Structure 1
Amino acid sequence: MKAAFVKSPFKFEIREVELPPLKPNDVLLKIKASGICGTDLHTARTEAKDWQTFGHEIVGIVEEIGSCVENVKVGQSVLVESGSFCGTCEDCRNGRVDLCHDRAPNVFIRAEKENLTMGFAEKVIIDKQNAVPFEGVPFEEASLVEPMGVALDLTYTVDPRLNDDVLVVGLGPIGLMAVQIVKAMGARRIFVANHSRSKIRIDVAKSFGVEDVILVDKTPISSYKFPKGGVDRALVTAPPYVIPEVLDVMNFGGVVGFIGIDYGEGRFIKFDANKFHFNKLQLRASHAVPALYFPRCVDMIKSGAVNVKPLITDTFKLEDIGEMMVRAENEKDKVIKAVMLD
């Protein structure tokens, strides 16, 4: 079978590989769709010191199962949890699977270390716990369930309330899905902030019914005139350097959640702790590992609460992964989500 390999900076190869025999808890998938994530771009940019497989937003059809697999059957369509919970640690036993540190073998760790491939390949072997059956959603749309779980985790972390004014910073796929989720949860007004060069992302956000778009290269977030003076909740899907400015526009008792990361000096921020304290603000980190909420995300696509179709700007074949990765890196003003289809 064929699999794509990456080595930084942005070198790609398609190789013939042979998968090992299945272990009792293994599931062999024929990959039907796999999305390019910002993590994949980071891997291609600097992380892949040696050749490695990559891709984790995976949808497939079960082709073979191990002797102890009972949760899925051959021929079923499944989503792949990019990282699952173990179910046996103290946090899991206490009902906080979202805090699990002793995760079961998952596609992130096991596939790379044991040469079981990753998402940009013809097939992948996963642990049975990572396989989530689904139906009624096209494969390319289902590939967005993994990042939608990230958007949902961020939204739950921020906990927007009915009639809140909400700010979403960053209009990548996660930000655009978060806009829709926040709206479904009853937000009164949703403001979004993004650079003006990303016209396609801005147009999609407007189609979702946002109150206004703050073009950060023309109007700093801190100088925007919000109807209530500020916002009640903010979801930051951009690098950490924007957080201090977002804190400046929070209403009394406001909550800011973030998932954006950076490296080097960019990972540090500085803000007025006294203002933060006296305004009773909260800053909460979202890190969606283990990957959760897949069935709920599928239901949201089916119900129309979240429309992922406008986010899929590009589809491609496995053999074109290198070209598409370069385009996704260099043409962020045109590419929102690129999905490999079988």
Structure 2
Amino acid sequence: MRAMVYRGPYKIRVEEKDVPAIEHPGDAIVRVTLAAICGSDLHLYHGMMPDTRVGTTFGHEFVGVVEEVGSGVRNLKRGDRVMVPFTIFCGTCWFCARGLYSNCHNVNPNATAVGGIYGYSHTCGGYDGGQAEFVRVPFADVGPAVIPDWLAEEDAVLLTDALATGYFGAQLGGITEGDVVVVFGAGPVGLFAAKSAWLMGAGRVIVIDHLANRLAKARTFAHAETYNFTEYDDIIVHLKKLTGHLGADVAIDAVGAEADGNLTQHVTSAKLKLQGGSPVALNWCIDAVRKGGTVSVMGAYGPMFSAVKFGDAMNKGLTLRMNQCPVKRQWPRLFEHIRNGYLKPSDVVTHRIPLEHIAEGYHIFSAKLDGCIKPLIVPDAG
């Protein structure tokens, strides 16, 4: 098969790899029909995540058609059109039993926090991802779901991470009717978080970013007030003025570790491979929210220590909530919103790139060229 392959920082190409095989009775092999590049993939692309090994195939957002199932699979059959959550989970451990699918205890021998993630380095289990023609899907009776007939494929692929994560970010904010919600970051997750805030009763939604095209999308797609932080001496002072000097009720960090890394990371990454990220957005959330408010963290942070204003959070009496999204838990309600016309996930898609041109796709997305907000990858499997 043809697959995207990592060859080192900023070096990816499409190569021939063996089609994955059934390794366990609970596995399925899925022929990928549509995948996506996620902002968090750029941390891997820049060589700034620990244990990203040469030869790895990235991609944790994908949908496809079941090609083969293991002898133990009961819920799927060959030919089913399926959507696959970005996290891998067993469905039976202590955490899965409580709906904490992203914290599964049985799928990642390399960590005690996050479970397994497709195509996201060996720190997340070492599973190859879906930026390929075929992918092995473990625990196939648990994670994937058959795509409803009424759901378009371009919408379904965004339900595997970006939309579910943005919705989860708003959910963790505990938004109540009339709340002022500020979202830092107008990438796909931030856009979906802002849109979801309205669905949860927000009275005002503000989005902060520095890219004009993303702020424009936040206005048209999420119907949010937008502000470019580069146009203000202190964006927090401006936000306080906008909120009667109290601050927002809920702040959502949809930025996390800057995908380009900071200077220290670029200097040390060759040996240390640290992607903790500057905590600027998180500290802005802590500063921007009112006393007694809630900070929801959706941005991806690595294992590096960061100078977070934890004392300020404590003294303000803030509630901090965060996690990797338990994707499948979000799907029933999101299906309702899409069917009712409240959400059209593919509205954030800006580029559709053939798998053979994925290196150029990564470059466009990484360098923020051509107004790129969300690129989809179209494999060539027949």
Once the two structures are superposed, residues 42-72 of structure 1 have per-residue CA deviations (whole angstroms, 9 ceiling, x without a partner) of 1111144422111110100112222221111
Superposition deviation, residue 177 in structure 1: 0.5
Q: Tell whether 2:256 aligns with 1:206.
A: no
Structure 1: gaps spanning 5 or more residues: none
1:323 & 1:179 partners in 2: Cα distance?
29
Q: Tell whether 2:14 aligns with 1:14.
A: yes
Superposition deviation, residue 242 in structure 1: 2.5
| Alpha-carbon distance change, 117 to 211 in structure 1, aligned in 2, over 3 angstroms | closer
State the one-letter code of the partner of 1:69: V
1:71 & 1:247 partners in 2: Cα distance?
44
Q: Let me know the Cα RMSD of the aligned residues.
A: 2.8
Q: 1:172 aligns with which of 187, 210, 215?
A: 187
| Alpha-carbon distance change, 149 to 226 in structure 1, aligned in 2, over 3 angstroms | same
| Alpha-carbon distance change, 268 to 35 in structure 1, aligned in 2, over 3 angstroms | same
Whether the 8 Å CA contact 2:170–2:194 is kept in 1: the answer is: no
Q: Tell whether 2:352 aligns with 1:315.
A: yes
Per the alignment, residue 280 of structure 2 pairs with 241
Count of equivalent residues: 337
State the one-letter code of the partner of 1:185: M
Superposition deviation, residue 18 in structure 1: 2.2
Mean Cα deviation higher: 246-255 or 31-40: 246-255
Q: Tell whether 2:197 aligns with 1:161.
A: no
Per the alignment, residue 93 of structure 2 pairs with 89
Per the alignment, residue 133 of structure 2 pairs with 122
Pairwise mapping of residues 1-342 of structure 1 onto structure 2 (< 5 A)?
1-22=1-22, 23-46=24-47, 47=49, 48-93=52-97, 95-98=98-101, 100-104=103-107, 108=118, 117-127=128-138, 128=140, 129-135=142-148, 136-145=150-159, 146-195=161-210, 198-208=211-221, 210-219=223-232, 220-224=234-238, 225-229=241-245, 230-239=247-256, 240-261=279-300, 267-271=305-309, 273=311, 276-288=313-325, 292-331=329-368, 334-342=371-379
Superposition deviation, residue 33 in structure 1: 0.5
State the one-letter code of the partner of 2:306: F
**Partner SS, residue 205 of structure 1:** helix
Query: Which consecutive segments of 4 or more residues in structure 1 shift more than 6 A?
Result: 109-116
Superposition deviation, residue 111 in structure 1: 11
| Alpha-carbon distance change, 278 to 42 in structure 1, aligned in 2, over 3 angstroms | closer
**Partner SS, residue 54 of structure 2:** coil
Whether the 8 Å CA contact 2:90–2:106 is kept in 1: the answer is: yes
Whether the 8 Å CA contact 2:58–2:120 is kept in 1: the answer is: no
TM normalised by structure 1 equals 0.88
TM normalised by structure 2 equals 0.79
Structure 2: gaps spanning 5 or more residues: 109-115, 257-278
Whether the 8 Å CA contact 2:57–2:119 is kept in 1: the answer is: no
Q: Percent same amino acid among aligned pairs?
A: 26
2:216 & 2:44 partners in 1: Cα distance?
29
State the one-letter code of the partner of 1:170: G
State the one-letter code of the partner of 1:86: C
Whether the 8 Å CA contact 2:185–2:208 is kept in 1: the answer is: yes
Once the two structures are superposed, residues 258-281 of structure 1 have per-residue CA deviations (whole angstroms, 9 ceiling, x without a partner) of 12245697x5124372x5445322
1:131 & 1:143 partners in 2: Cα distance?
12
Whether the 8 Å CA contact 1:89–1:100 is kept in 2: the answer is: no
